């Protein structure tokens, strides 16, 4: 980096308001002006500039300049908006409950970015839907009293086939899809069970699994195999539970942590740094969800939803209309062209996953004062432990590396079949193995 550029960055740093610098170093979040004092429970951004928030008394607000300014939109309903979802800058949906007779769910739809909203009653008066998700203008889902899907943009809804068990009929609070074929719903009931539903057939059928003592409000899908969630007890009798699957939802582990409190939503800023909106505090992880710790919110704000558009742009909303914006810390602001050498070996999940016919595998090699290179061995195995191919067996310098596993280039008489495979990185005492899925 040129000396003049470094000097300009130093000057810029010392010209920043001391409060802004302290905030970015302490939390990474700062309050920004809000056009409402109504509680905001839901947040949705389609890019770093364009987003909506919604909540109490039919409130919907919109920004098109990255949160610098917000305008109030006319939702046409006076009741609490429980969810909001957009697929582009124009087309979106929201859900609200009718709080006077006849009771039920109201579905709001906009085709012009929320400038006008059209309200229609969900056809089942006895159903209260908490969450909405659309893949495109025609195909979508709602969940609450039960799970229902539409293939005509919400003109009609068909209740999905859910397995019959004591917990499968508990309320649904959120959808998390990996793709159209594979996804999860989560929910449950206080002091009864936290439930995760899974579909592997485009939502034609769902299977329910009890995972915790209390409801689960959100999941974060890391890749096709790994997903994480949190569950908390609002009464404080039990610690927050860390809920993890490493086999695409076939099995879940539940680990009660020493932390307490709810988790309303989870999102990750980077591959390893994740945040949870947990009311009067944040929960944060710096090791991809293995462990979590408490973080205070600015001015003790109560936060119900958050989202990261990318590593430098994030927003959170909550009680009394509060809006927080993520402010990149000094390390983010001034890391302009500076190479930061990793301090540990890391083997990342392959991408894409599932894949056909090729996928990329990334890993990092730490800096070592004694040696500037490390001998790295990267091997792919099948489920029986048979070696398929050695992708690397050589000295590599510190830094990040990427290797392509292309099944079409493997010299075999028979093409590799669909299924689970493993890739293992070995470097000195470091050994790490991860799963990947080949789909022909």
Residues 255 and 118 placed together within one structural domain of the fold: yes
**pLDDT category of residue 86 using cuts at 50, 70 and 90:** very high
Residues 157 and 289 placed together within one structural domain of the fold: yes
Q: pLDDT value at position 411?
A: 66
List the single range of 48-52, 138-142, 332-336, 383-387 with lowest mean pLDDT.
332-336
In a domain, residue 4? The reply is no
Residues 182 and 205 placed together within one structural domain of the fold: yes
In a domain, residue 19? The reply is no
> What distance in Å separates the CA atoms of residue 193 and residue 171, rounded to the nearest whole number?
10
Q: What is the pLDDT of residues 271-315, one digit of tens each?
A: 899 999 999 999 999 999 999 999 999 989 999 999 999 888 999
Q: What is the pLDDT of residues 23-34, one digit of tens each?
A: 333 448 999 999
CATH for 364: 2.60.40.1930
CATH for 262: 2.130.10.10
In a domain, residue 338? The reply is no
Burial class (CB in 10 A: 0-12, 13-18, 19+), 353: buried
In a domain, residue 307? The reply is yes
> What distance in Å separates the CA atoms of residue 374 and residue 43, rounded to the nearest whole number?
45
Q: pLDDT value at position 42?
A: 96
Instruction: List the strands of the sheet with 129-134, edge to edge.
Output: 129-134, 140-144, 147-150, 158-159
Mean pLDDT in residue range 424-440: 85
Q: pLDDT value at position 281?
A: 93
Q: pLDDT value at position 332?
A: 45
**pLDDT category of residue 395 using cuts at 50, 70 and 90:** confident
Residues 414 and 307 placed together within one structural domain of the fold: no
Task: Kindly report the three-state secondary structure assignment for every residue of 356-368.
Answer: CCEEEEEEEECCC
Query: What H or E segment, with its residue span, contains residue 186?
Result: strand 183-189
Residue 370 clears pLDDT 70, i.e. is over it = no
Residues 56 and 107 placed together within one structural domain of the fold: yes
Residues 325 and 359 placed together within one structural domain of the fold: no
Highest mean pLDDT among 57-61, 237-241, 368-372: 57-61
Classify 288 in phi/psi space as left (phi over 0), alpha (psi -120 to 50) or beta: left
Question: How much of the chain, in percent, has pLDDT values that exceed 70?
Answer: 88
Residues 280 and 396 placed together within one structural domain of the fold: no
Residues 317 and 353 placed together within one structural domain of the fold: no
Max distance between CA atoms of the chain, in angstroms, equals 75
Mean pLDDT in residue range 396-412: 83
**pLDDT category of residue 428 using cuts at 50, 70 and 90:** confident
Who has greater pLDDT, 131 or 262? 131
Q: What is the pLDDT of residues 157-182, one digit of tens each?
A: 999 999 988 899 999 999 999 999 99
DSSP per-residue letters across 104-139: EEEEEEESSTTSS-EEEE-S-TT--EEEEEESSSS-
Contact 41, 55 (CB under 8 A): yes
Residues 65 and 191 placed together within one structural domain of the fold: yes
Question: How much of the chain, in percent, has pLDDT values that exceed 90?
Answer: 64
Query: Domain ends where: 333, 354, 379?
Result: 333
Q: What is the DSSP letter of 319?
A: G
Residues 315 and 411 placed together within one structural domain of the fold: no
Query: Domain ends where: 284, 310, 333?
Result: 333
Q: pLDDT value at position 372?
A: 54
> What distance in Å separates the CA atoms of residue 192 and residue 171, rounded to the nearest whole number?
11
In a domain, residue 393? The reply is yes
Residues 88 and 187 placed together within one structural domain of the fold: yes
In a domain, residue 204? The reply is yes
DSSP per-residue letters across 257-306: -S--S---EEEESSSS-EEEE-BSEEEEESSTTSS-EEEEPGGG--EEEE
Domain count, the chain: 2
Contact 133, 85 (CB under 8 A): yes
- Per the structure, the complete domain to which residue 379 belongs is given by 346-438
Q: pLDDT value at position 116?
A: 98
**pLDDT category of residue 400 using cuts at 50, 70 and 90:** confident
Q: What is the pLDDT of residues 101-134, one digit of tens each?
A: 778 999 999 999 999 999 999 999 999 999 999 9
In a domain, residue 21? The reply is no
Residues 107 and 243 placed together within one structural domain of the fold: yes
Query: What H or E segment, with its residue span, contains residue 82?
Result: strand 81-86
Q: Which of 52, 51, 49, 70 is nearest to 60 (CA)?
A: 52
Query: Domain ends where: 309, 333, 357?
Result: 333
In a domain, residue 339? The reply is no
Q: pLDDT value at position 307?
A: 97
Residue 3 clears pLDDT 80, i.e. is over it = no
Q: What's the pTM? A: 0.70
Residue 412: Cβ within 10 Å count: 9
């Amino acid at each position: 980096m040129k000396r003049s550029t470094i000097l300009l960055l130093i000057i810029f740093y010392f010209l920043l308001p001391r409060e802004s610098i302290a905030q970015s170093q302490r939390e990474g979040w700062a309050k920004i002006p809000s056009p409402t004092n109504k509680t905001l429970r839901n947040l949705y951004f389609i890019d770093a500039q364009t987003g909506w928030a919604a909540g109490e008394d039919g409130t919907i607000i919109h920004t098109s300049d990255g949160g610098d300014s917000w305008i109030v939109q006319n939702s046409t309903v006076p009741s609490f908006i429980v969810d909001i979802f957009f697929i582009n800058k124009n087309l979106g949906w929201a859900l609200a409950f009718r709080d006077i007779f006849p009771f039920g769910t109201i579905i709001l739809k906009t085709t012009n970015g929320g400038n006008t909203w059209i309200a229609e009653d969900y056809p089942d008066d006895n159903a209260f839907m908490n969450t909405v998700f659309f893949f495109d203008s025609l195909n979508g889902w709602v969940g609450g009293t039960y799970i229902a899907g539409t293939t005509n943009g919400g003109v009609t809804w068909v209740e999905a086939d859910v397995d019959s068990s004591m917990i499968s009929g508990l309320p649904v609070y959120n959808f998390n899809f990996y793709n159209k074929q594979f996804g999860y719903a989560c929910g449950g009931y206080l002091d009864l069970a936290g439930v995760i539903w899974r579909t592997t057939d485009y939502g034609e059928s769902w299977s329910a699994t009890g995972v915790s003592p209390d409801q689960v409000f959100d999941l974060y899908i890391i890749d096709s195999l790994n997903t994480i969630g949190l569950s908390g007890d609002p009464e404080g009798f039990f610690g927050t539970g860390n809920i993890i699957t490493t086999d695409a939802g076939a099995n879940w582990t539940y680990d009660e942590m020493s932390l307490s409190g709810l988790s309303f939503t989870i999102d990750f800023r980077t591959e390893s740094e994740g945040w949870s909106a947990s009311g009067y505090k944040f929960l944060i992880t710096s090791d991809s969800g293995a462990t979590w710790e408490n973080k205070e919110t600015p001015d003790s704000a109560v936060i119900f939803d958050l989202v990261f558009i990318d590593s430098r742009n994030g927003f959170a909303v909550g009680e009394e209309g509060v809006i927080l914006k993520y402010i990149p810390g000094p390390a983010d602001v001034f890391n302009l062209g500076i190479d930061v050498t990793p301090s540990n070996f890391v083997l990342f999940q392959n991408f894409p996953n599932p894949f056909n016919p090729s996928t990329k595998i990334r890993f990092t090699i730490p800096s070592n004062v004694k040696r500037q290179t490390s001998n790295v061995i990267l091997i792919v195995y099948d489920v029986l432990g048979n070696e398929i191919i050695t992708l690397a067996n050589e000295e590599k310098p510190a830094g990040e590396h990427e290797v392509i596993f292309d099944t079409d280039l493997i010299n075999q008489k028979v093409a590799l079949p669909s299924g689970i495979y493993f890739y293992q990185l070995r470097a000195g005492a470091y050994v790490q193995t991860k799963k990947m899925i080949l789909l022909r």
